[in-house]
Amino acid sequence: MTHVLVTGGAGYIGSHACKALKAAGYTPVTFDNLVTGWQDAVKFGPFEQGALSDRARLDEVFATYKPVAVMHFAALSQVGEAMSQPGLYWRNNVEGSLTLVEAAVAAGCLNFVFSSTCATYGEHDNVVLDEDTSQIPLNAYGASKRAVENILRDFGAAYGLNHVIFRYFNVAGADPEGEVGEHHRPETHLIPVMLEAIDGKRPALTIHGSDYDTPDGTCIRDYVHVMDLVDAHVLGLKWLEEGKGSRVFNLGTGTGFSVREVIDASRAVTNREVPHSEGPRRAGDATKLVSGSSRAAGELGWTPHRSTMPQMIADAWQWHLHGHYDH
């Protein structure tokens, strides 16, 4: 069996990646501390509970499975929390990743796929973002992810660690077969929050700022379906296995949707009203984040199939109605 170590494999994106890896013939080994992940989401390979800060535990897992690659999803990822508790982000995301990278190099596992984010770019007015755009993150979440990108570059130069860095735009949707889906505690992502509001599971959606310099005043984001996103990860893994070297790829569709446009689309898909109110801006949010890159399409051969707004909302809505995790 060809093992791939998947940190954060019990989380939203990691669990979908495990499904895609299994479908592609790999055996995903989930390494997760279950702080934000769900044991119920681990369905496609072995589970090893542990923390990234525990080097001995990591060494043990590398020795047991001899993975051909690491896919590193585990991270704290809430901008609000990052603003109020930055130390948590620097410790967990940066120090934890450093320990993982050191363990991978020590184990001779030199293929590494990393979940980064468009939040590393920060604010760039009226610019579509490609991989060469300056990275000036606005918050500790983006700064911690950029720091890990730097660590990978530094370990690439020093030890030959080959790495593919994916900078995600907004990830949405769920496995259309309903095996895995999105469930955060607390939920902060726009679409699931909206669906909970539609369903009366929370009072109303708050729009964080309606005075941005955009056509309707709300922030604009580029949304990508989680199934398309994890397809790119399998392509990234093959890229590394073929010895093509280290590379950064944006993962977005190049189309931006404002918060109000996502609300309108949710109303159309669910045929239900979306209770919402307007609140102040949230510190650390950029006005507009849209990918302007065709690199993943051109070099990896990545084609997003499900990343239309109605499809993403429909798949998220099916999961919202029928899927759940207990543990």
Q: Which residues bind its own copies (CB under 8 A)?
A: 82-87, 89-91, 94-95, 98, 101-102, 134-137, 139-140, 143, 146-147, 150-151, 153-155, 157-158, 283
Distance (Å) of CA 69 to CA 8, 28, 145, 182: 14, 10, 20, 25
Amino acid (one-letter) located at 241: E
- Which residues lie across from 5 on neighbouring strands? 29, 70
| Minimum CB distance to its own copies, residue 140 (Å) | 4
Determine whether 12 is an active site residue: no
Contacts of residue 111, defined as CB under 8 A and 6 or more positions apart, other chains included, come to 68, 69, 70, 162, 163, 237, 240, 241
DSSP-assigned letter for residue 119: G
Take residue 253 and report the two structure tokens written for it.
């569709």
| Minimum CB distance to its own copies, residue 317 (Å) | 36
| Minimum CB distance to its own copies, residue 31 (Å) | 20
Cα(181)–Cα(172) distance, integer angstroms? 10
Amino acid (one-letter) located at 103: A
Cα(273)–Cα(197) distance, integer angstroms? 9
- Give just the sign of the alpha carbon dihedral 18, 22, 23, 25: positive
Output 153 or 272, the one with its CB closest to its own copies.
153
Before 186, cis peptide (omega within 30)?
A: yes
The residue annotated as part of the active site, out of 12, 26, 65, 141, is: 141
| Minimum CB distance to its own copies, residue 175 (Å) | 35
State the alpha helices, DSSP H only, in the chain. 12-23, 55-65, 79-84, 86-89, 96-106, 140-159, 190-198, 226-241, 259-270, 295, 309-322
**Residue 322 DSSP SS3:** helix
Residues with active-site annotation: 141
